[in-house]
Amino acid sequence: MLYYKVGAFNACLNNMKIDKELTVYQVKVIDEKIKVIDYGKVSAGFPSPAEDFVDRKLSLDDRYLQHPESTFIVIVGGLSMANEYDLDDVLVIRSDLTPHHNDDVIVSVNNSDYTLKRFDFKQNKLIALNPSYNDSIQLNADDEVKIMGVVTVQIKERRKV
């Protein structure tokens, strides 16, 4: 199996076939950053006494877009990864990272359209997470596998406004 990372996203975007169910956005650097107040952590279990107010600010740019030259945004449009990824979820993708076992990746096999799948290195296959889909792809030694990037952040809208 020939496996390689695509490389600098900006340089090769024009030559890529992207699955029609994925919407891809390039990250552009601008001078202005928006920061939100960080009130600390919230308990997801039993309530704990409130922390004293701390005047910290959180920059989503600094936290999630540290490498804008190799970062892009994808909007999920299909159902093959449903239950883990829903329609219109926003994904931050890093093209400079090497995928690890069970990473979710934007991938092309044998020059097919790029799509979102879980990469199982141990069984050498790409997995669709929707249990009603039989879209897993067994990779063979002669397959050409291109990884556009690794999913690093998932943003879910809980309430559309």
Is 79 within a domain? Answer: yes
| Helix segments in the chain, DSSP class H | 9-12, 60-64
Assign residue 141 the CATH number of its domain: 2.10.109.10
Judge whether 61 lies within some domain. no
Q: Phi and psi (nearest 5°) for 134?
A: -115, 50
**Domain total for the chain?**
1
User: Is 130 part of a structural domain of the chain?
Assistant: yes
Q: What is the pLDDT along the chain (161 residues), one digit of tens a residue?
A: 445 455 444 444 444 556 666 777 677 766 776 665 555 665 566 665 555 555 677 778 888 888 888 888 899 988 999 989 999 899 999 999 999 999 999 999 998 888 999 999 999 999 999 999 887 899 999 999 999 999 999 999 888 87
Rounded distance, CA 21 to CA 87, Å?
9
Q: Catalytic residues, which ones?
A: 80, 117
Range of the domain at 94: 2-27+68-155
3 state DSSP class of 11: helix
In a domain, 32, yes or no: no
Whether 152 contacts 92, CB under 8 Å: yes
The answer to whether residue 47 sits within a structural domain is no
- Buried/exposed 40-55: b ≥16 CB within 10 Å, e otherwise: eeeeeeeeeeeeeeee
Is 19 in contact with 113 (CB distance < 8 Å)?
Answer: yes
Q: Across 18-142, where does the E strand assignment appear?
A: 23-26, 35-38, 56-59, 71-75, 90-94, 103-109, 115-120, 125-127, 137-138
Q: Are 122 and 102 in contact (CB under 8 A)?
A: no
